[in-house]
Structure 1
């Protein structure tokens, strides 16, 4: 994964009144909009964040956050305006630690949530506290938590999507005919000659849906044009997260897509990579059972 510097953001759910010296978000986040591969579109003002919604239960969602502390160039503590009621318990304050890695300076980041998954809060990686007194990195972040490599999310600055594009891993750099394989084994695009192109532009992925080619939507993109915005290399395959260039997202399309490939086969998942996604198996949801994507089998390749 391309890395430049790390930023750690600490989230705490509580409420604070405006005071002299109110924390403000640093550049490039202040007064900006971002696309989040998990949460959707985010809006930052100088002091608030909306869109980073966390659903804790069928009836409880945290949707508004404020900047609580900006101690130096690498750490932020922010808070939300509500508390969470645990089953059979009183309300608690909720914290989440996000560790960000800059991918392209000022326009794109990946991040992981540095906490264990909470079984009684929809498996979100959070930290609960009844007193609401946690306020530092050592309080909030769990550096002992085991975070799978692919358990990450992507942020892209709105309006700078093309600037966020990065070079694809070598295992992706080819053009090829392809066949799609659903979780039940059903094949599509197997009776036409189609092109999945990652050669013409080595930081982009394109499909040709014109008449005569397979009309099946690939990579959750109606227009068939995507930018690569983050990459991860594992032992025997690579994964890339793509930003869908469709002007609007509708139907089965998603703004982000994750593809893991070994050069012969690829798995495709909407939005983020799934935690244990590989190149040869249909991706599954967090329950490790429910399929959430499909496979691509490549034909003859050109480089």
Structure 2
């Protein structure tokens, strides 16, 4: 009788474990039910377990909806891992896209990330891995043999907290500058002795004097952008944020990389 009781207890525990493992993958709390701005993809919306707005194509089909795939990957390795919803179909075969974001926290309201996967020709050269199977392991999805170059970092800023995400501009630009503006047609529109680019007044803000040079910088009609992220190695790369109210993500944009 005792042996039977023990067997039943163990069987019950195993059943509970299997149900738990097959349950819904949850995103980190900081992303759940919130909206974020992506420097590459625009506005993203998160639920407890999905992300929408991160648009790409594969086999000439559009994808913008993603589902959390491996829970706790952020706590363990700093990864956010998603699978595409729905699958894409090519020659009758269903393919699932898998995306691995390697995140680094900048502030409580901002992160920068890299996509950890080689570029894929079937994905319009995006770093998304596609498979015929609905299962994949973390080492395959997050292929560390090919990570984006240092200067190709992406920024995520939580919507409504852009002011709190500001950072000091990097040391090489903590000064006041004259600059020359070269148009895409090769014509010089502003001479360096006339234009003014100021950072000293507010170390988190780059201000351009449009009276001296009326050419738009950083897509900002007001002439101000905020520094939000910096990556440095042999060179320094930094991202600025345009807080104008009339940004359309077609001809004007939120983010510019210097």
* Larger helix percent: 2
Conserved 8 A contact 2:84-2:96: no
Conserved 8 A contact 2:87-2:97: yes
Structure 1 residues 230 and 64: CA distance shift in structure 2, 3 A? same
For 2:209 and 2:99, the matched residues in 1 are separated by 42
Q: Secondary structure at the match of 2:140?
A: helix
Structure 1 residues 37 and 76: CA distance shift in structure 2, 3 A? closer
Counting only pairs closer than 5 Å after superposition, residues 21-60 of structure 1 correspond to structure 2 as 21-56=23-58, 59-60=60-61
Q: Deviations over 1:149-175 (max 9, x none)?
A: 112211001111111111122111111
Q: Deviations over 1:251-272 (max 9, x none)?
A: 732110011xxxxxxxxxxxxx
Residue 83 (str. 1) matches residue 82 (str. 2):
no
Counting only pairs closer than 5 Å after superposition, residues 148-187 of structure 1 correspond to structure 2 as 148-187=149-188
Highest relative contact order (Cα 8 Å, sep 6+), 1 or 2? Answer: 1
Structure 1 residues 118 and 205: CA distance shift in structure 2, 3 A? same
Conserved 8 A contact 1:114-1:142: yes
Long gaps (5+) in structure 1:
1-18, 260-303
Q: Which residue of 1 aligns with 2:242?
A: 244
1:123 aligned residue (122, 125, 141): 125
* Larger strand percent: 1
Q: Secondary structure at the match of 1:159?
A: coil
Q: Which residue of 2 aligns with 1:15?
A: none
Q: Point out the more displaced range, 154-163 or 91-100.
A: 91-100
> How many residues were matched structurally?
234
Q: Deviations over 1:70-128 (max 9, x none)?
A: 23624544322222345x67332211211011111x21111111100012221011212
1:147 positional shift = 2.9
Q: TM-score, normalised by structure 1?
A: 0.71
1:63 positional shift = 1.0
Long gaps (5+) in structure 2:
1-20
Q: Deviations over 1:126-160 (max 9, x none)?
A: 212112221x3123111111531112211001111
Q: Deviations over 1:31-77 (max 9, x none)?
A: 111000011001111222111112235x4111112223423624544
Largest Rg, 1 or 2: 2
